[in-house]
Structure 1
Amino acid sequence: MHAYRSQTCADLNKSHVGQTVRLSGWVHRVRDHGGVLFIDLRDHYGVTQILCDGDSPAFAELEKVRSEWCIRIDGTVKARDESLINPKLPTGEIEVYVRELEVLGAADELPLMVFGDQEYPEETRLKYRYLDLRREKLQDNMLLRSNVVASMRKRMWDKGFNEFQTPIITASSPEGARDFLVPSRLHPGRFYALPQAPQLFKQLIMVSGFDKYFQIAPCFRDEDPRADRSPTDFYQLDMEMSFVTQQDVFDTISPVIAGVFEEFGGGRKVDAPQDWPQISYRDAALWYGTDKPDLRNPIKMQVVSEHFRGSGFAIFAKLLEQEGTEIRAIPAPKGGSRKFCDRMNKFAQEQGLPGMGYIFWREVAEPSLQDFEKQVARTATSDILGVADQQFEQLKNEARNKWRKDRVKLGEGKYMEAAGPLAKNIGPDRTEAIRQQLGLDVGDAAFFLGGKPKAFEAVAGRARTVIGDELGLTDQNRFAFAWIVDFPIYEKDEETGEVDFEHNPFSMPQGGMDALDSDPLDVLGYQYDLACNGYELVSGAIRNHKPEIMFRAFEIAGYGKDEVEKRFGGLATAFKYGAPPHGGCAAGIDRIVMLLADQQNIREVIMFPMNQRAEDLMMDAPSLPTNEQLRDLHLRVIDPE
């Protein structure tokens, strides 16, 4: 028999009854039933119940074991009584009677329990990550990750791609984040960098004549952490192709991503790639307040500035007199209650805005004639109080007709009216025009934000998400994808007026050199992202492969030819020797697995993640270098003030 096991803890069933077996694993749970011990023994594959009583020579030793001891047992497979079968376990029909025990590794008192669903502080979980990883949820997440990567590899090979590895130690390059620098011992005072992405190398692979490249690439960026982003390193499915258009890249990578989500999405609906919309960057910002929209939420924001220009709502009317301002509406189907509107207004205040204006539409019954009589009586002057009955009847009818005119008739005696402070300020004609533009009805609401779009777009996007979630509009059982295209290449600094790159500087401008002779802020790039459920999953571009266009593009952003050649000399020189048109993209593996595992925090799908402060509590990194290491590298550490 094998030194440690004849089967795994998931293998045994009724066909093994009567056999002598050897199992190894961890003590998952111990139950003492007064002279009979029941232990759930767990390994990577599953759980088997073992038992022991006073007749077994192993009983005295087995009484000593505790949770998470690593043990080996020899025993006999027995069938469970019919009433004790556990249908939830593959091994639920049997148990193993222990005759021999060997402790392979005893465990001290545990800082966190593996059995059960107890919650522990993240710092504890990361410090003892090897224990945390024994828990079922983490085991499932890591296996999912492994299977996703294997599926991606197979799908790329099946599409004719070849996997090549690019350097880990390289030169610094701008990818939108800070580099991790590595000091050189052989070249004192000079530094390598860990690659933020294989960007330059994969382009050089295309120049080298290879047609289709991919790799599961580690990338390193010194970034501030977020729930959906690691502060140090991450992995991506990186790919590049020669002689392709933007649509060719979409047609290649979309089935790979869709296939992975169909395979591992747990039955959730996956939109077919041919149905993935292509939305311009500017439209995404307008409609959704973000360039990574969640299309499971049907809400689409609209510009409603004309309805407030010159209106009785002075705040918006005066705002629109300023250049570059507009008013946007967030429709809220089924949100037509003052309580919900007040709650969303408070949300805006928590986001740092003064609030959000709102209008909601409700059903009202037409008042009785007596009510109109009272209204006329209250508003009539002393001269009218003595008028004839006929004149009083006319005033009453005028009041009723005005009441009807200010509302939308729904049925006999039933009307819809706009409510809220905003509605009172701008009047019924404008509120009705807004309602019709937004396609709203009784029981619906709309929220309004104004100013320069960049100042409120992000809050509007978050408000859209909250509204969709709270009103049950967002389809939680779906993966909804969208290509975001037509990214602007440049942006202007509001304070200095200087133009710099807003997005990837290596993207080919749409229109080539001719486009660069126009207003830089109008120049769009062949750059694209794939968004899914509010997350950016893929980013890529058709590359700028012509040296003269590349130098001109950098010149507009204030980078002279000498600086470009100094920083990107390898790429610029390579482009002089017959570079093919090429493009590609990279898909974030960590984020994809996070979505598939239905997790809100990316650290739940990374084997050994850093904490929020980019610290590895388990390995005590970053650590202080020794004096000898510093001398070898000709470095001196300056303590922060």
Structure 2
Amino acid sequence: MNTSNIYRNKTMDHISESDIKQTLKIAGWVENIRDHGGVSFIDLRDMYGVMQVVMRDTDLLEGINKEDCISIEGMIQLRDEETFNPKIPTGTIELEAHTVNVLGKVYKQLPFEIMTSKEIREDLRLKHRYLDLRNKKVKDNIIFRSQVISFLRQKMTEMGFLEIQTPILCASSPEGARDYIVPSRKFKGKFYALPQAPQQYKQLLMVSGFDKYFQIAPCFRDEDARADRSPGEFYQLDFEMSFATQEDVFHTGEEVLTAAFEKFAPEGYEVTNAPYPVISYKQAMLEFGSDKPDLRNPLRIVDATDFFQRCTFKPFHGKTIRAIKVHAEMSKGFHEKLLKFATSIGMGGLGYLEVLEDKTYKGPIDKFIPDDMKNEIAEIAGLEAGDTIFFIADKEERAALYAGQLRTELGNRLDLLEKKAYRFCFVNDFPMFEYDKEAKQIIFTHNPFSMPQGGLEALNTKDPQDILAYQYDIVCNGVELSSGAVRNHNLDIMVRAFEIAGYTEEDLKQKFGALYNAFQYGAPPHAGMAPGVDRMIMLLRNEENIREVIPFPMNGNAQDLMCQAPNEVSEMQLREVHIKIRQ
């Protein structure tokens, strides 16, 4: 009990029946007011809970409005039993008010009701986020976020990792998303950039002889918002390890994520046990039609390309054919609805077959499959009586994409997804390079600092599009939680890899000079990854939108509606950093 504080002696979570007949001061916000004639009631809320206050002297209520910030002194007493409120910890007691002190007055009409703020328009919520955060559900997300981050720090430290902060003002990088750039006052015409990730700095820490580094790293990318991506800034559990292989990183990622999800998952949820399934990029695109496979969905995609080249159905000839088998009751009109979905995502049509009790087929393309081949399609797809098999035909890349979207749609429409589960997997063996049709050249597919599989020999002898990288993602329930790689620490391999992507050695010295120079002084093999903290918390809280777990998020248009950012600056500020706005 704090007797010296002029506003409160105790917070709501520390008041109980043991305080009955004690005189206490409590402070918080007026959540509700109920005037019952000769006696009035207030529900007073602080960060920790709610307390009912009874005012038998009705003058005490004069001038008090909802959401006023007040301090009340009075005596704790037992409620009448018929008025007990089992929904709150203080539901058997109340404070009889003796004095009221208004600390912060509400001068304007509230833009929305605090208790129902999650149900109103998002732009209003974000404009008045300080009010939205008073809502218990919203506040609990932020408290939960703090607890998860605290646990991650503790866990990484226990695992021998050293927390080190890397710079926020750094050099602009030509790779990845768009940078946020910061003009320099001292160096006319030059700019800093906010880090898209601490990529180069953490690699330089490994060259510096730090064995295991981590930080809860802020990252800044000028990219559009999605439900699982916040524009502007986000946080990741960034870590790097020296003398480490891909498997070492997998083990570390599994240990910290399994521990975090088992500790913080909602009651009754299952978490994938380590080791997580490892799925190659090629396998993921074939079986799931996505490099972010949701393993809660039991449906798998199979390749029927060769089979249909030998059938008489000409629309399938010369195309990649993907097939999805489903064993589920389908309502009348289901096929028409699914066809409508297929055409809405760009498909030209959707073939299907139903397997009847006698193992014969019914469907629009049955007549194009020769009788002596019908057993073959049953073996390819594992068909049984009662199954329906859907066919997707297009160029390989689009066929994979459409099949993945159809798999997701079938899983959702037929309610096939495993309930109350967090299903993790690694996706690895990503292509190192791809052909950019617009630029008409070979470019890096992902992280340019990754080690190519096969090293210098592969770079010198293989078609660049056939070279795989030691790159990997962690995926949970169809959400990419993390990307990482075994880093390229060999200067010769680095120079050759960048040469294939159109960079000269001089480009390398200019754009990545720190790494280029550091790798000439005994760089150790190193590897790492960076699970996204915001996405992790979004999954654990079962929120559909990532903004629900960020204290002060930007809206989907990368605007801070509360502080009006981005905004204009004065002519003097522009002059100081040598900038003139083009009209």
Cα 1:581–1:315, aligned 2, differ >3 Å: closer, same or farther? same
Q: 1:443-522 alignment to 2 at 5 Å? A: 443-494=386-437, 497-517=440-460, 518-522=462-466
**Residues 49-448 of structure 1: pairs in structure 2 closer than 5 A:** 49-53=52-56, 56=57, 59-107=58-106, 108-116=108-116, 119-267=119-267, 268-274=269-275, 276-317=276-317, 320=318, 325-336=319-330, 339-363=333-357, 407-408=358-359, 417-426=360-369, 430-448=373-391
Q: Specify the alignment match of 1:372 in structure 2.
A: none
Structure 1 pair 118–266 and aligned structure 2 pair: CA distance change class (3 A): closer
Structure 2 distance, partners of 1:429, 1:476, is: 41
- Residues 218-244 of structure 1 show CA distances to partners (whole Å, capped at 9, x for unaligned) of 000000111110110000111111001
Structure 1 distance, partners of 2:525, 2:345, is 45
| Alignment partners' CA distance in 2, 1:520 and 1:213 | 32
Q: 1:207 Cα shift?
A: 0.4
Whether 1:567 and 2:511 are equivalent positions in the alignment is yes
Mapped partners of 2:439, 2:480: distance in 1? 30
Contact 2:322 2:399 in 1 (8 A): no
Unaligned runs of 5+ in 1: 364-406, 409-416
CA distance in 2, matches of 1:25, 1:17: 20
- Tell me: CA distance 1:496–1:27, structure 2 relative to 1, closer, same or farther (3 Å): closer
Residue 580 of structure 1 corresponds to which residue in structure 2?
A: 524
Structure with higher Rg: it is 1
Give SS of 1:599's match.
Answer: coil
8 Å contact kept, 1:175–1:196? no
Using the size of structure 2 for normalisation, the TM-score is 0.96
Q: What aligned pairs does 1:613-628 form with structure 2 within 5 A after superposition?
A: 613-628=557-572
Specify the SS of the correspondent of 1:110: coil
What letter is aligned with 1:586? A
Report the AA paired with residue 522 of structure 1. D
> What is the SS of the residue equivalent to 1:476?
coil
- 1:472 deviation in Å? 2.1
Residues 336 and 442 in structure 1, CA contact (< 8 A), matched pair in contact too: no
Is the 8 Å Cα contact of residues 30 and 38 (structure 1) preserved in structure 2?
A: yes
CA distance in 2, matches of 1:291, 1:335: 29
In the alignment, residue 354 of structure 2 is paired with which amino acid? F
SS of the aligned residue for 2:12 comes to coil
AA at the equivalent of 1:567? K
**2: CA distance between counterparts of 1:432 and 1:297?**
27
Confirm or deny: 8 A CA contact 1:127 1:618 kept in the other structure.
yes
Offset from partner CA, 1:105-161 (integer Å, 9 cap, x none): 111211011124661111101100001111111111101110110000000000111
Distance in structure 1 (CA, Å) of the matches to 2:384 and 2:41: 63
| Counterpart Cα distance in 1 of 2:202 and 2:434 | 27
Q: Which stretch has the larger CA shift, 601-610 or 342-351?
A: 342-351
Q: CA, structure 1 residues 496+235, in 2 after alignment: closer, same or farther (shift >3 Å)?
A: closer
Question: Cα distance, 1:86 vs. partner?
Answer: 1.4
CA-based RMSD of the aligned residues comes to 1.5
Give the Cα–Cα distance (whole angstroms) in 2 for the partners of residues 476 and 564 of structure 1.
Answer: 49
- How far 1:496 moved relative to its partner? 5.8
Relative to structure 1, the CA distance from residue 625 to residue 337 in structure 2 (aligned partners, 3 Å threshold; closer, same or farther) is same
TM-score, length of structure 1 as denominator length: 0.88
Change in CA separation of 1:117 and 1:223 when aligned onto 2, cut-off 3 Å: closer
Query: 2: CA distance between counterparts of 1:13 and 1:50?
Result: 14
Count of matched residue pairs? 577
Query: Distance between the aligned counterparts of 2:406 and 2:96, measured in 1?
Result: 59
CA distance in 2, matches of 1:63, 1:427: 88
Q: Secondary structure at the match of 1:263?
A: helix
For residue 430 of structure 1, report the CA deviation from its aligned partner.
Answer: 4.4
Deviating beyond 6 angstroms after TM superposition, the runs of 4 or more aligned structure 1 residues are none
Give matches, 1:571-610, under 5 Å: 571-610=515-554
Distance in 2 separating the partners of 1:629 and 1:289 = 50
Q: How much does 1:63 deviate?
A: 4.1
Change (3 A) 1:350 1:431: farther
Segment drifting more, 5-14 vs 277-286: 5-14
Q: Distance in 2 between matches of 1:459 and 1:138?
A: 36
